[in-house]
Chain A
Amino acid sequence: AQKVTQAQTEISVVEKEDVTLDCVYETRDTTYYLFWYKQPPSGELVFLIRRNSFDEQNEISGRYSWNFQKSTSSFNFTITASQVVDSAVYFCALSEAHAGGTSYGKLTFGQGTILTVHP
């Protein structure tokens, strides 16, 4: 069965530190999609990135970068030079691409990691 694990429940850093949020997933599907969402205190989940299982290239967007490694079933998220505005709950999620998979057509979320960035 599909599963997403975010082992870090809470992380606390000081502004300008780099921080990595871990995500490990399990799926039997050979084609799948991975996502990261940010949930600030306002409550709305904000989409950050989607990656399909055939694209293992790392991606960088400003201070954000993502490291996808199929060999370890991980999709980690790094924030460089963190800022107070990065404080939020971050969710990793998985969606399977083939009908019949229990995560087909829907997202399976991890538990989330609460990131607090102190000034």
Chain B
Amino acid sequence: ETGVTQTPRHLVMGMTNKKSLKCEQHLGHNAMYWYKQSAKKPLELMFVYNFKEQTENNSVPSRFSPECPNSSHLFLHLHTLQPEDSALYLCASSQDQLAGGNEQFFGPGTRLTVL
């Protein structure tokens, strides 16, 4: 595997379900990001982890819970979601969040539908 991978690619869940999204980066990076991309809206940064420490929580509802066990893996745990949470969830990584201008590399995303 190369780059940034995400599983599953598609997920349909009911509002009472609990599920998790997984992201893995094979680039030796130290920063990982979760973004939400909804139709007709710009990319919204949700969480950032730098060297396994959470450095950003962009006022995300608590029904989204991130986990970063090491610099290569990032999870997004989902529970009691709402239909408006349906979106494409993108994971990204970069060398170091605080290094100037480091580009982020993105995974293919998980298309989430909440029924």
Residues of A within 8 A of B (CB): 31, 33, 35, 37, 42-47, 50, 52, 91, 95, 97, 99, 104-107, 109-112
Contacts and interface: CB of A to CB of B under 8 A. Distances in A.
A44 B89 CA distance: 10
B42 interface: yes
Contacts, number: 54
Q: Which label, helix, strand, loop or mixed, suits the secondary structure of the A interface? A: loop
Contacts of B50: 105
Nearest to A109: B43
B48 A105 contact: yes
Contact of A42 (B56, B101, B108): B108
B88 A35 contact: no
A31 B100 contact: yes
B29 interface: no
Nearest to B111: A43
A30 to B, nearest CB: 12
Contacts of B92: 45
Nearest to A45: B106
B101 A43 contact: no
Contacts of B109: 43-44
A33 B43 contact: no
